Copies of this chain bind each other. A is one copy, B any other.
Amino acid sequence: MRDAYHEELDSIGDSLVEMARLVGSAIGRATTAMLDADLNLAESVIAADEKVDALQRDLETKAINLLARQQPVATDLRIVVTSLRMSADLERSGDLAQHVAKVARLRYPESAVPRDLHATILEMGQLAQRLMAKTGEILITKDVDLALQLEQDDDAIDLLHRTLFQHLMDDRWKHGIETAVDVTLLGRYYERFADHAVSVARRVVYLVTGDYADEVDPATAAAAAAGSEEAPAEEA
């Protein structure tokens, strides 16, 4: 009986790792789809999000069954409850990757991103993907140090986000309003994606150390650290 129990607990952990893998891949492919104006790739990212949603539903069912039948307490109980919240973060990250892909689809055959912003957006996409890969690793290894490193990657994304806004606010912006709207939303999607990855990593820290690191909202913390009152998007 006890073995089945730990198998169920492991299975929940495996689902989280798989979700992180899928959404990390999705944000990378969505970024490529957008920069290359690759419609097929965009469609494939959009369709693949269903897999992430299904994993979350399964995880929720598994968690509720485990709570009902095994009635875990103490650490195991916290693991199950926290897993539910982590799965919500990961599911939402998947939505955000899908949003990027939908912007790509909407602007096809053009790229939604003007040429002079490709490098910034590419870097945001790569950082977001790397952040999520690390989150997946943290879910497996419970490596608290790696989780704390993640904050730096998140700061790097915030910095890129700010760069994006400086471009937008520059008087020489020549790409019109539609592109400004696209770039504003894309910046927010990447930033929120990173927030969710960091949030998952913080919950792992909390499970391992018992510290309520997750009480701090990543976006708020980052904005406060960066003194970003000047950039409304950082408040997002």
List the interface of chain A (C-beta within 8 A of B): 53, 57, 60, 63-64, 67-68, 71, 73-74, 77-78, 81, 84-85, 88, 95, 98-99, 102-103, 105-106, 165, 168-169, 173, 177-178, 180-182, 184-185, 188-189, 212, 215, 217, 219-220, 229-230, 232-233, 235-236
Bound complex: CA A232 to CA B182 (Å): 7
Choose from B53, B67, B212, B215 the contact partner of A67 (Cβ within 8 Å).
B67
Contact present for A67 and B81 (CB under 8 Å): yes
Cβ contacts under 8 Å, A219 to chain B: 95
Cβ contacts under 8 Å, A63 to chain B: 81
Cβ contacts under 8 Å, A212 to chain B: 57
**Chain B, residue nearest A96 (CB):** B236
Choose from B60, B88, B177, B220 the contact partner of A88 (Cβ within 8 Å).
B88
Contact present for A68 and B74 (CB under 8 Å): yes
Distance in Å: Cβ of A185 to nearest Cβ of chain B: 6
Bound complex: CA A219 to CA B220 (Å): 24
Total identical chains: 2
Choose from B81, B88, B169, B188 the contact partner of A178 (Cβ within 8 Å).
B169
Contact present for B232 and A102 (CB under 8 Å): yes
Contact present for A64 and B81 (CB under 8 Å): yes
Contact present for B95 and A217 (CB under 8 Å): yes
Bound complex: CA A95 to CA B199 (Å): 15
**Chain B, residue nearest A170 (CB):** B177
Contact present for A165 and B177 (CB under 8 Å): no
**Chain B, residue nearest A169 (CB):** B178
Bound complex: CA A173 to CA B63 (Å): 51
Bound complex: CA A77 to CA B64 (Å): 8
Bound complex: CA A67 to CA B232 (Å): 40
Cβ contacts under 8 Å, A188 to chain B: 185, 188, 236
Choose from B177, B189, B220, B235 the contact partner of A180 (Cβ within 8 Å).
B177
Bound complex: CA A68 to CA B70 (Å): 11
Choose from B95, B168, B229 the contact partner of A181 (Cβ within 8 Å).
B168
Contact present for B177 and A173 (CB under 8 Å): yes
Contact present for B185 and A165 (CB under 8 Å): no
